[in-house]
Chain A
Amino acid sequence: MTTVNKKRQLARQVSIVGAGLSQFGAFPEKDSRDLFVEAFKDMVQSMDQGFDIEDIEGAYIGNYSSDLFEHQGHTAPIVADWLGITPIPITRIENACASSGSALREGVLAIASGMYDVVLVGGMEKMTNLPTDGVTDVLASAADGLYEVPAGLTFPGIFGAIAKAHMDRYETNLDHLLKVGIKNHENGALNPKAQFQQTITAMMERRMARAQERGHTVPDYKTDLDFLNDPQANPWIAWPLRLYDCAPITDGAACVLLVADEIAHNFTDKPISIAGIGQATGKPLHDSDELTSLSAAKAAAQQAYDMAGVTVADIDLAEVHDCFTIAEIVATEDLGFFAPGEGPRAVDEGRTALGGDHPINTSGGLKSKGHPVGASGVGQVIEIYHQLRGEAGARQVKKANPTVGLTHNVGGTGGTCVVNVLRRES
C-alpha cells in the first residue's frame, strides 16, 4: 500500500554562508567543546559580511561518542554554553561516523520547514584520550554488538572483509588500495588544517633519513609503493588492510552556518546552495545484498541526485568517506562515478586526482586530513564549500569553475549514509 508521494523536494531552499574547521590532529589538552569553539571561531572570523551570533535560532551537533571517548554525555548544551548561545535549542545527533552528516540534514529540514531562518550545524569528536585498543572497541560499537562484534569483527575488520570480497570479484589488488592513500596524502599535504600534511614520499624520505641518523640499515625504497609494502613501515591492521589504508584517530570539529536562501545574500555574495540531500540506512554486511557495495550509499545518492535534478555527469568533484582506502573505491562505484569493479582502474589512471576528471577527496580525505568521526560529515561539506567558491588555494581543483560538488558520509559500515549535492549559484 503505497499512498505517499516519494518524490521529495524541500519546501524552501537552504544555503551555506559560512564555514569553520578546527585544526585536525591530536590535542591532549583540548576537550571536544574546545575543538568546537575553535571551529566556530574560524567560521565567525571568515564570514564574508560578518554576522551576529544572536541570529542563530537553533543548532544540531554531530558527535559519535563523547560518552565513551570523554566520559561525557549530553554534550550539546555544553557546546551551547561555551558558545554563549543558550537558551536556543541545540540537539546532538548520533549516527556513528555520519553523525554530522545527519546533523546537517536536520538543520536543512528545520529551515526548509519554515521553523528557522538561521541554523548552526556541525560536529566534533575528541578521540585521542584513549589508547588504540580502546578506540578500536569504541568504533566497533557502531557495528552490531550482538552478531558482528562477538564474531571478532572490528571496524577495520569489516572493511577488510569488503576489500577481500572486492579483490576476489574484480581485478582489485593491494597496490590499488595503497594508491588511494598516496593520492589522498598528496592532497592533504596541501591542506593547512590536515592532520598529516605530508605526502607518502615525504614520509618515506623521513624514515630513510631517521635510519641514517641512527646508524641503522637504510631501507632501499625506490618508490612510494616500496615503502608501503615494507611490513615494518606499514604493518597489517586487518588483512588486506594496513596502517596506511586506515584513516587516523583524530581530534577535531567542524561547523557551517545554514540560512534560508532568501536571506543568504545578507551574509555573502557567494552562498553555496544545498541542492539535494539524501540519507538512507543499510543492514550489517552479512545481511547486505552485496559484499562489495554499500546499499545505503546508492539509495542516498539517488535521493540527492533526484532532488538536485542532476546526474553523476554533473558532479565536478566529491568528498567521499575514505575511512579505509577500500571505502573510497567502493564509494566511487556506489555513487556511479565508475562502474562496479572499475574504481581501482580509475585510481590507477589518475582520474580521481586533483587534475583528474573526477577529483575525489581534494581535502586529503579522512585518510590524510583526519577523521574525528562526529565532525567528518560537515568537514567534507566545508571542503566542497571552499572548492565551489574557488578558495581552496593550492589544492583547488584544476578544472575551471566547478559548480556542483558532492559529499558522501558513511556511518559505521554502511548502517547510515548521507549524500549531499552542493551547487554554486551564479
Chain B
Amino acid sequence: MADNFTATAFYRALKEEGQIVGVKCQACGHLSPEPRPMCPICHGFDMVSHRFSGKAKLDTFTCISIVPVSMAAKGYGRDKPYCSGIVTLEEGPRISARISGVDGANPQNIKNGMDVVLDVADLDEESPSVAFKPA
C-alpha cells in the first residue's frame, strides 16, 4: 500500500508497529510525520514512507483542566489536568502530542527543551494518539 498516505495508515502504524511512519518527498527531501500524498513545499506527488526515530525535544506545552468529552471519559478534568504540547522530532519536523509521564497539575516542573521519546505503552485501541514521555 505504498500510496496509502492517510491518517488511518498513520494511526495503524502507531498501533501495530509502535512508530511514527510519515512521508518523505523524493523530489525535495521534505519530511512530514503526517502522511500526505502531496509535498506541501515543492508540490510534487512522489512521496515515500519514512520512519521517524521517536526521539524528540519538547517545544512548548499546556496543561488542560477544562477537558474535551473524550478526555473526561478517561478521568481527566479540573482535579486532574493533562499535558499536551508540540515536540520537534530528531529528524526536524514538529508534531502535536500528548505529553505523558509528567504531572499536569504541576506545570512548573515540566521544562521546554527537555528530551522526550515516543510513548506507545498506553495506546487507546479505539482512538490511538501520539504521546511522548520524558526520555
Contact = CB atoms under 8 A, between A and B. Distances in A.
Contact of A146 (B34, B59, B67, B86): B34
A152 B71 contact: yes
Interface in B66-98: 66-69, 71-72, 78, 81-82, 84-86, 93-98
Contact of B130 (A137, A150, A160, A291): A150
A287 interface: yes
Q: How large is the interface on B (under 10, 10 to 19, 20 to 34, 35 or more residues)?
A: 20 to 34
Q: Is the interface of A mostly helix, strand, loop or mixed?
A: helix
Contacts of A144: 96
B65 interface: yes
Given A147-B96, A151-B84, A152-B71, A239 B59 contact: no
A136 B68 contact: yes
Given A147-B7, A147-B34, A134 B69 contact: yes
Contact of A133 (B7, B59, B61, B72): B72
Nearest to B88: A286
Interface string B93-135: 1111110000000010000100000000000000111100000
B38 interface: no
Contacts of B62: 153, 156-158, 160-161, 163-164, 238-241
Contacts of B94: 286-287
A137 B69 contact: yes
B98 A237 contact: no
Contact of A140 (B65, B68, B98, B127): B68
A258 to B, nearest CB: 35
A161 B127 contact: no
Interface of A: 132-134, 136-137, 140, 144, 146-154, 156-158, 160-165, 168, 235-241, 284-287, 291
30 contacts: A140-B68, A146-B34, A150-B128, A151-B95, A151-B97, A151-B130, A152-B68, A152-B82, A153-B62, A154-B64, A154-B67, A156-B66, A157-B64, A160-B62, A161-B61, A161-B62, A162-B60, A164-B60, A165-B112, A236-B65, A236-B81, A238-B62, A239-B63, A239-B64, A239-B81, A240-B107, A241-B62, A284-B96, A286-B96, A287-B94
